[in-house]
Chain A
Amino acid sequence: MSLRPLSRLFQNWLDKRMPPTNSVALNLRNVFILPTREGVYFSILIIFMMLAGINYQNSLVLALAFLLFSMLMISILHTYRNLSGLTLRSAGSKPAFAGDDAGFDVNLIRSGARTFEALQLGWHRHKITGADLIDDQQLIVNLYLPTQKRGLLNPGRLLIQSCYPVGLFRAWSWVDLDMKAVVYPRPIVAGPVPGATSNIGEGDALQRDGVDDFYGFRNYQHGDSLRHVAWKNYARSDELLLKEFAAYVDRRIWLDWEYLSGEPAEVRLGKLCFWIVQLASGPDEYGLRLPGLEIEPAKGLEHRNKLLLELAVFGSIDGQGAGSTS
């Protein structure tokens, strides 16, 4: 985030005046209002009209110029009224892979019967989303922000503005709803999961009574098949033991940082991310080993997101590796 000194000053001032909080009510304190470019042109038009009225000594031309000027003044009140009294509340975020758009949900709430029309919301220099709060008491606006780097994305201040009803003035506010979205590393296409081919059986979850692989011995019980009796052992020790075979139904796969030694950290994370996404759609349980961190293999969406989160924040000091994108 490279800010020129002036806008940094402004940001600091904003932070003091409107500290981050997950719910902001718009009022005189935090709504700004200035003419739009069209409002400036409109004022110039009024000046021309007044010159015409003075030079032609025409009272009605002057009266119309005065009427339009008065309307311009009245429109300040209406535009301000279209923002003040509105409450914005953070309503969560949706994670994204770096390079995709992270989603932020903002809850717009109106109290009383005042309606809000033609609102515009968006992050600094990003796409503006329109919203109306007329029939409903509240609504949730989904905002998206492109991401670049993994980490916890702080979108910065959200712009909410409105030029309603005549577009000659713009009322706006920069609100910091203290929102964050998790940005996973960008998946990098890697080969098959290393453990899945060479290291099968690393885990210990077995289905007994299988036929695939020798597993161990157990005492013969009446009714057991004689085919699996360990006759050699019987000859040595007089114990009738049965050879047990097991089949692997589930596999416990470890995704290990060390598999990818020699590659840059971000590439490693990208590949791990790719595998997690791959494995999440398969039947296997998988765990993750990162330097200083080990997560036991498991399955499910929650587990997947937990792992991806670790990848997202890996290496960041305070858990906020990546900043906002702008």
Chain B
Amino acid sequence: MTYYQIPRNSLAWMLVSQVAVILPHVARLPVWVVLVVVGCVTWRTMIYQGRWAYPGRWVKVGFVITGLVGIPLGYKGRVYGLEPAVSLLVVAYVLKLLEMHQKRDAYVVILLGYFVAITEFLFYQTIPYTLYMIAVVTMITASLVGLNQTKSHVRPFKTLKLAAILLGQALPLMLVMFLLFPRISPLWSIPLQSQTAKTGITDSMSPGDIASLSKSDGLAFKATFEGEPPRFPQLYWRGLVFSKYKDGIWTRDDMRPSVWRHRQAVPGWVDNISPIGQRFDYSVMLEPTHQNWLFTLAASDIPDDRDVAMVREHSLVYIHRRGVSSKLNYALTSHLDYRLDVNPNAFILHRNTILPKEGNPESRILAERLFAESTNHKDYIRRILTLYNTDAFFYTLQPGALGEDEIDDFLFSSKRGFCEHYSSSFTFLMRAAGIPARVVVGYHGGEYNPNGNYVAVHQFDAHSWSEVWLENEGWVRVDPTMAVAPERIEQGIEAAVAEENSFLSDSPLSLLKYRQLLWLTEIRLQLDAVGHYWDTWVVGYTPAMQSAFLSDYLGDFDTKSLGAALLATFFSVLGLLAIVILMRRSNTPLSALDQAYLNFCQSLAKQGLARAVGEGPLDYARRIKAQRADLADAIDQVTMSYVNANYGGGAPGDIKEMKKAVRRFQLKTLL
């Protein structure tokens, strides 16, 4: 084993790129892992500067143990998932730094670096992140180049430039592959999913859940419409349906009827939806939720495309089979008016009238009394909504805590609530009167961006409402929030809580807070639209997207013809690049002076008097003068002006003179 020293040039880029590649991960890493990262990088930098020696065995063991114990500690015992896996990768990556003795080890560090770089895209895929990762990959490549350069040519920025040239030349090929490489569905289900609690709708709802979600300005999804989008109040983005109520928490029914994929596959007895009225065609670009339900404007057809991963449940809930681990784009056709379950299904109606045997006695009494006074179900509903509207109920983002009998507490004492308080208590009161009812969660509204004709829906648009089953009408949406705060439904959350000034009160820097500043909003919407195009055409370039895009150019195609197109285009582009790279005569262009002298030599070479390799201009002149005395003067003139210009300091006019001398010489040889 010979002693090998990694070129400092390469090592410097290795350290810089390592810090750069880990930096965006830091927020997700357990604190112990961050300590290991800082420790290892600092130690290696000290070795680099010659201040410290390589760590002893026990120090390394200490780092390993800290990292390995730190991961489960940091993720509360969870060792299985995307974040722990990335943490492990990062630990291996930084520890290898201290084990780097051979050239081989340096390659391992560099390859690990590339891999850590891609994991960043599993979390974020925005344009700024992409640009940042391109810079990081260039730096990693610079360390790869530095490893293969001669040590005597240590100029870090020259190395970086070469790396950038390599990647720049690779770019056209990459685009060809990106467009034409056959996109296929996942080969197997992904075992490692991010399990960070993403802010978003969850599969349960208790008082205060949606109010706290409404503090986030995170993007939930964007819906791009073909043509005019529906009016703002109509934008009820349906997510989940909660039929089970227990201990103050609404969850999904444990006994849901089965799901199905295609409309054709829906059995007759269960074909429960009939759409009415205007249809809207749109596509939703859903941010990764790491959950499996989707958001739609009810009622939607099950998309009849290749993305069979999407299924519909009986209660009009759309489920993605794999779970949404990265941005998901799905196209839908929706009718905002529809009939759902007009033919009563006794089992489902029964499931939606169940209440806990005990608790909330006052609410039950209220329900009994109001129901007795009502002429019919609709009248009962109206009476309850009137109660919310008149009886000092207050719509607020800061509802405060509720006691054990949460419905009683809300209805009779606090009277302060966000949408979930209203939908929950309303549904309770319906069921207490024996009317089938359930809670629906999702989003309402969204910000329309005319630059991209899409509606951006944020977490603060989260909403919940109720659904009541009525004879001959089926399931009908009733939004009790409408009764207490109609501005929420007509204008959105910001207007609804304007009085208490609580909109995004925890995020003072959010641009969304400053919607009243028109110029700022304009810029934000422009940037947002660019981001949306990026999400649609680059991030959202899925198998379905690829076939839709390419069929415009290739007509009908299959994987085989796509493969052929890919190979043909790839090698044509590679051929062109080969011509550019291999035919380029030099790395550094010749100076005009050298070019003129070379022209001179060339015209002599035509006379059979080529300059020998390594022959200096003066020696050359002496030699050819001996053979061609007739040209002696001209040769001297060219040679002297070249030598003077090149070695004698040189003046601005030299080049002109030199060129003139060469031309005179060439003329003379022609005569």
Contacts and interface: CB of A to CB of B under 8 A. Distances in A.
Interface string B179-203: 0010111111110000000000000
A163 interface: yes
Interface in B107-123: 107, 111, 114-115, 117-118, 121-122
Contact of A78 (B125, B177, B187, B581): B581
B588 interface: yes
B492 to A, nearest CB: 32
B137 interface: yes
Given A138-B613, A164-B148, A165-B148, A42 B111 contact: yes
B577 interface: yes
A112 B587 CA distance: 10
Given A55-B186, A56-B325, A165-B145, A74 B166 contact: yes
A118 B149 contact: yes
A105 to B, nearest CB: 14
A21 to B, nearest CB: 16
Contact of B114 (A45, A115, A118): A45
Contacts of A53: 118
A26 to B, nearest CB: 13
A64 B538 contact: no
Given A55-B190, A165-B162, A81 B121 contact: no
Interface stretch (A1-9, A129-137, A262-270): A129-137
Interface string A136-175: 0110000000000000000000000001111100000000
Of A42, A57, A65, most B-chain CB atoms within 10 Å:
A57
Interface in A76-100: 77-78, 80-81, 84
B401 to A, nearest CB: 40
Interface size, B (range) = 35 or more
A74 B122 CA distance: 27
Contact of B184 (A54, A68, A113): A54
A165 B166 contact: yes
A53 B187 CA distance: 11
B613 A112 contact: no
B628 interface: no
Contact of A70 (B173, B189, B581, B586): B173
Interface stretch (B455-463, B539-547, B634-642, B644-652): B539-547
Given A49-B118, A57-B186, A109-B613, A77 B174 contact: no
B17 interface: no
B241 to A, nearest CB: 27
B614 interface: yes
Interface in A34-83: 38, 41-42, 45, 48-49, 51-71, 73-75, 77-78, 80-81
A209 to B, nearest CB: 54
Contact of B115 (A49, A73, A114): A49
A63 B325 contact: no
A285 interface: no
B137 A67 contact: yes
A310 interface: no
Contact of A167 (B107, B177, B325, B581): B107
B587 A115 contact: yes
Nearest to A69: B177
B181 A74 contact: no
Contacts of A137: 613-614
Given A62-B178, A67-B171, A75-B166, 14 more contacts: A54-B183, A54-B185, A55-B188, A59-B541, A60-B125, A66-B177, A69-B173, A69-B174, A71-B170, A74-B166, A77-B581, A112-B586, A118-B148, A165-B166
30 contacts: A41-B111, A49-B115, A54-B183, A55-B186, A55-B189, A55-B190, A57-B328, A57-B542, A59-B542, A60-B130, A63-B538, A64-B114, A66-B177, A66-B178, A66-B181, A67-B137, A67-B171, A68-B114, A70-B171, A71-B166, A71-B167, A73-B170, A74-B577, A77-B581, A81-B582, A114-B587, A115-B587, A117-B149, A166-B148, A167-B107
Interface of B: 107, 111, 114-115, 117-118, 121-122, 125, 130, 133, 137, 141, 144-145, 147-150, 152-153, 162, 166-167, 169-174, 177-178, 181, 183-190, 325-326, 328, 538-542, 574, 577-578, 581-582, 585-590, 613-614
Interface of A: 38, 41-42, 45, 48-49, 51-71, 73-75, 77-78, 80-81, 84, 109, 111-115, 117-118, 130, 132, 134, 137-138, 163-167
